[in-house]
Amino acid sequence: MTAPTKPPHSSPADAVPGAELHAPVIDWFEDHARDLPWRHPEAGAWGVMVSEFMLQQTPVSRVLPVYEQWLARWPRPADLAAEAPGEAVRAWGRLGYPRRALRLHGAAVAITERHGGDVPSDHAQLLALPGIGEYTAAAVASFAYGQRHAVLDTNVRRVFARAVTGVRYPPNATTAAERKLARALLPDDERTAARWAAASMELGALVCTAKNETCVRCPIAAQCAWRLAGKPEHEGPPRRGQTYAGTDRQVRGKLLAVLRDAHAPVPQAALDRVWHEPVQRARALDGLVADGLVEPLPNGLYRLPLT
């Protein structure tokens, strides 16, 4: 996400629900926002889009080196579109969820073919790109183009759940009620709304975290419904972290690592060595093929996809 030019705050006369939250959070953001490359003006809309794909379910610390390498190699969508999709998977490295790399490659092809190589600013056109959902379309329109959209990631949803709804965690999946609340909380002014989107996201990432929140650093602690209620415990289903060791995800990652490191087709025997359990290994490989991340060739050879 990027940081649009600082706008004037909304006036007290604004009739936006929760307007008293805007100025404190935006002022806090001015002082505490991290200096991230996709927030620099030179990143442009393509840099913002790349960051949004990479940051899904992946921490900033892991994204930064891959992001820098990616933009150095493919500074524009057309540069990525000209490469085989397997090169996107290779460059994705160990960020995880590598289907994101294929989706980003597909978006780059569509941007090149439909929009002359420029990331569109229109929300509907962004949403029509392959691999772009509601969140990413809103994020790019807001962070890259300073538009007024509700940008609801996990961090923002947690801030709104606590500060406004008074519960510790939001639902597991985004609800219609959350979307309605997010739209209601948007400042009327377009530039202020874009700033609010970035600021509320940063607040959730740095202060209003899932565990060990630091309310003493929070600019809206005095207004936070959850804190004022005594921080009631979560009443919904238990929230369990995702496991990785021993899962198909781990096996898929090991198989992809072999293919990423190879610049020629890989024989089945080389893939068989990465995991001891043949049924799970075969299932993981079949899944990679079905997802378009691996291309099977005659004679038991495999490679990253060329088309």
Residue indicated by tokens 């209003």: 208
Counts of helices then strands in the chain (DSSP H, E): 15, 3
Residue 255 contacts residue 288 (beta carbons within 8 Å): yes
Contact indicator for 99, 130 with CB cutoff of 8 Å: no
Residue 113: count of CB within 10 angstroms of its CB: 12
Which residues lie below 8 Å from residue 21, measured CB to CB, with a gap of 6+? Answer: 163, 185, 220, 223
Helix residue ranges, H only, 116-147: 123-127, 134-145
52 has catalytic annotation: yes
Catalytic residue among 20, 52, 190, 213: 52
* Composition of the chain by helix, strand, coil, percent to 5: 60, 5, 40
260 touches 89 (CB < 8 A)? yes
H or E segment and range at residue 303: strand 301-303
Where residue 117 falls (left for φ over 0; alpha for ψ -120 to 50; beta otherwise) is: left
Is residue 181 within 8 A of residue 160, CB to CB? The reply is yes
Q: Which active-site residues does the annotation give?
A: 52
